[in-house]
Copies of this chain bind each other. A is one copy, B any other.
Amino acid sequence: MSKVSLIGAYNTRFGAFVKKNKETGEITDLMSIYDLIVEAGRGAIRDAGLLPQDIDAVWVGACAPGLFANQEHLAPAAVEIDPEHFRFIPITRTEAACASSSVALYNAVYGIESGRFKRVLAIGVEKMSLLNTAGVTHALACCSYWPAEGGRGMTFPDLFAAYAKAYQAHYHISDEVLIRMLATVAALAYKNGVRNPLAHFGAGGPSDKYKLFSADAILQLPAEKNPVISTPLRLHDCSLISDGAAAVVLAPTALAQAEKRKTVEIAGIGHAVDRMPIGAHANMHELAAAKQAVNTAFREAGITSHDVQVAEVHDCFTISQLLCVEALGLSPDGRAGYDYLEGRFTSEDACAVNLSGGLKAKGHPVGATGISMHAMLYKQLAGDPIGVAYGKGQPEIGATLNIGGVGVTNCVTVLRRL
């Protein structure tokens, strides 16, 4: 089986692209879900040095566009990337909560490996800012197990807070230390984010304005600036509600190399799904299914954790970043928080994590996040980084860990520059 590679990538700006009329409450959409899909799709095709007629099929990952933007049946929106050439090609939408577009990418890989398609476009998108906070909370709660969780008033901060408490208890971490660990994670995200020109919390944004670039700066915020959302998680432990899209172009590696594209191979993938209710998760101090996905992806790629130089991981909450770093084996179990306290995972580390600013600072348009991780790593590996560059030269190996639900859908990709 010939492997598949990324040959182009594009990430739109992430942000809240709406204008709210303070008097009437009316919302004007400044960048629609349709606009985002078209910008990302065209951008990735251009980045690959291709034309729309070169694309055989498209996959679109989106989490809940019906709830967020009144648009189910989202796949056909991609026809507008180039109506002349995209009309009549196969376009598939996948959904896996916040891992929707990693799953889109994996199905695109299968499509190429099947021999049915050569050059394929995979897009991730979400438009979240049309709704108020209650609306967003409802839409996301539909991604938990509704009968026992969302439908009973549990929010995603509540669910990840349960993981945070289990982690704290299992590893006997004091409240004070845990809070400092989490703030350290957030501060590094903010530090990277302000140098990412596409980030929701970028230069001039709130994290820049208040210089939230150290745990101390975050911990010294007055309570009203960093309220508890769900103990132990505070506002600055939570990722952002964003609009955005990202896209990549995929092709068989042999074709990519023959055509001398900037080729970053999808060396391994892992997609492992756990039971939906967190009540069925025996151990909440770790991401059990994510570890399975890591094993699968690393085995296919023939690498170990030590080989990973750049990673983009799923920091929907700061606690999940600790869990992801451990699932990838970048820290031993129970050590990720201490590693952050010791200053690891910056651009100068052997393994840099979330140079993009992650979901916390780059933003988290949920359906876009998976492919955005791949797009940002593609640019790092291809020697054309957006924002903070890996500090030890052009990296060769990167890994993503993208999660849907509370450790339920787990997607791991190993990328290798050729």
* Cα(A311)–Cα(B113), bound, Å: 30
Whole-angstrom distance between the Cβ of A130 and the nearest chain B Cβ: 11
Whole-angstrom distance between the Cβ of A188 and the nearest chain B Cβ: 29
Whole-angstrom distance between the Cβ of A274 and the nearest chain B Cβ: 6
Given A72-B97, A76-B408, A113-B116 in contact, is the A272-B89 Cβ separation under 8 Å?
yes
Q: Give the size range of A's interface with the partner.
A: 35 or more
The CB with the most chain B CB atoms within 10 A, among A143, A150, A276, is that of: A276
Given A69-B146, A111-B110, A142-B70 in contact, is the A409-B275 Cβ separation under 8 Å?
no
* Cα(A314)–Cα(B400), bound, Å: 40
| Chain A 263-304 interface 0/1 with B at a Cβ cutoff of 8 Å (1 = within) | 000000001111110001000000001001000000000000
| Chain A 80-96 interface 0/1 with B at a Cβ cutoff of 8 Å (1 = within) | 10010011111111111
* Cα(A80)–Cα(B277), bound, Å: 11
Asked if A115 is an interface residue, CB under 8 A from chain B, the answer is yes
Asked if A1 is an interface residue, CB under 8 A from chain B, the answer is yes
> Footprint of B on A, CB under 8 Å?
1, 32, 34, 63-64, 66-67, 69-80, 83, 86-97, 103, 106-107, 109-111, 113-116, 139, 141-144, 146-147, 150-151, 271-276, 280, 289, 292, 404-405, 408-409
11 A-B contacts (beta carbon < 8 Å): A72-B143, A73-B276, A75-B96, A75-B273, A75-B409, A79-B276, A80-B276, A88-B289, A91-B273, A92-B106, A113-B113
Sample of 15 further A-B pairs with CB below 8 A, known A73-B142, A74-B95? A1-B115, A34-B147, A64-B66, A67-B72, A69-B146, A75-B273, A76-B275, A76-B276, A79-B275, A80-B275, A88-B292, A90-B271, A92-B106, A109-B114, A113-B116
